[in-house]
Amino acid sequence: MDALMRLDHRSPEEVKAVIRFAQGDPFWRTNILSVEKLRKQYDQLNAKRRQRASSNDPNRFTAVWSSFNIPPRLAEASFDAYQPTSSEQEKALAKCQAFADTGLANVQEGKGLFLQGPVGTGKSHLVVAILRSILENNLQQFGKPVNGEALAGEPIYEGMHCLTVSVVDLLGIIRESFSADNLKAPARRLLHRARADALVILDDIGAEKPSDWVEEQLYALIDLRYRMQRSTIFTTNCTLKQLESQIGSWVVSRIFEMCEGVKVEGRDWRKQSLFNNSVADADYPINN
């Protein structure tokens, strides 16, 4: 592998993917038995690997979707399943659908959305629905990250990567990894994806306990994605003034430059569902 990377200038990720392809293919497994043969046949192997990866694989959607880190409760979220209960939510739905309709171009151009509104108005549902729509309409453009634990012969799905992560969870695992050796590698992988994936959803920004360390971590992450023009979608329950207090005006300024705002107003659907609309309207006023 050293010769492939140092002399042939191949990336480590690509070399690993080519080796896995060769090991999983009945023909190439018996013919590529040395580094010399691998180097000689590398271009042909890589071309065949890419061709196979882009073929019409019925498992591709499931494999790629599973790599997005969608919370199980939202795994079936879609635009069809979103039920707006106010004109503001109807407008938010329309904005999210419009973003998804041109989603591939938006991702490639580093455009994002900022969904803001009170708890329980379906912001997380909407952003997952955006992901689903973009993936369904551009499946061959998206792939699944390969980690070191992949089995020989396991399909390789190349393409852009996407990640959904709660900001509280992201900061939590980074903080815990300082004192837990078993979390250092997972924290590095998660942070790398939050920095590098083509499209990242940072859910519930502003819900974390404010501190200088939190502000520093968020600024470093968001500023990197801003500078590299990587598409980012944010959700928050905070007002803009609250958000500035929570994460700092510099971070909020970056978000404004990266994103189009989407206001998601309305009632908390969880409360409505719990009481099955049996509580008087006055008990749950609409947040403005």
Domain boundaries along the sequence of the chain: 2-53, 60-283
Per-residue pLDDT of the chain (288 residues; tens, 9 = 90+): 677 777 777 767 678 778 888 888 888 888 888 888 888 888 888 887 766 665 567 788 999 999 999 999 999 999 989 999 899 999 999 999 999 999 999 999 999 999 999 998 999 999 999 999 999 988 889 999 987 555 556 777 889 999 999 999 999 999 999 999 999 999 999 999 999 999 999 999 999 999 999 999 999 999 999 999 999 999 999 999 999 999 999 999 999 999 999 999 987 766 666 555 444 343 333 333
pTM for this model (two decimals): 0.76
**Residues 204, 241 contacting (CB under 8 angstroms):** no
State the pLDDT at residue 194.
97
Contact residues for 93 (Cβ-Cβ < 8 A; gap 6+): 79, 82, 84, 126
Q: Which long-range contacts (CB under 8 A, 24 or more apart) does 85-90 make?
A: 85/266, 85/267, 85/269, 85/272, 86/265, 86/266, 86/267, 86/286, 88/117, 88/263, 88/264, 88/265, 88/266, 89/121, 89/122, 89/264, 89/265, 89/266
- Say how far apart CA 224 and CA 42 lie, in whole Å: 34
- Domain 60-283: homologous superfamily in CATH: P-loop containing nucleotide triphosphate hydrolases (3.40.50.300)
Contact residues for 63 (Cβ-Cβ < 8 A; gap 6+): 144, 155, 157
At residue 32, the 3 state secondary structure works out as: coil
